[in-house]
Amino acid sequence: MRHYEIVFLVHPSQSEQVPAMLDRYRTNLEARGGQIHRLEDWGRRQLAYPINKIHKAHYVLMNVECDAEALAELESAFRFNDAVLRNMIIKRDAAVTEPSPLLKSGDEREGSDDDGGERGERRSRRSDEGGRSDDDGEERERFRDSDRD
């Protein structure tokens, strides 16, 4: 059996149906002798470009080990499910079981307790860096008045 990495995007209005879809796909794979090595639900994320006028989608990543028949069945399930917007299946050399970099970065962000991160408070450019101030407004008014005369 071969190893595959599968990513599919689900319509955002069908996000609550994702667990049921995953169970269905898992039972289909396991019934045909396949095995899921990694399953990550990335949740709702912004798309790089709109798909059918949709700007967000629910992302799911799976690493599976299965034969060609089980993969064809899974592809067919994706094709005939209107909630699946896109899918990508890549053949891998070995099973990947460690968390993806996207999931790792999400865990690190959730674990941080600081409010602003490394960046400090933002200062007003106008008053601190020699930009416009309220006094400049008065000068502009005087200039406009003298220009009219």
29-81 pLDDT per residue, tens = 999 999 999 999 999 999 999 999 999 999 999 999 999 999 999 999 999 99
Residue spans per domain, the chain: 2-90
CATH annotation of 2-90: 3.30.70.60
Report the chain's mean pLDDT, rounded to a whole number: 81
**Residues 6+ away with beta carbon under 8 Å from 33:** 1, 66, 67, 70
pTM above 0.85, yes or no: no
Q: Which residue has the higher pLDDT, 10 or 140?
A: 10
Q: Which residue has the higher pLDDT, 103 or 81?
A: 81
* Distance in angstroms (rounded) separating the CA atoms of residues 29 and 22: 10
Instruction: Judge whether residue 149 has pLDDT over 90.
Output: no
Burial readout 102-116 (b: 16 or more C-beta within 10 A, e: otherwise): eeeeeeeeeeeeeee
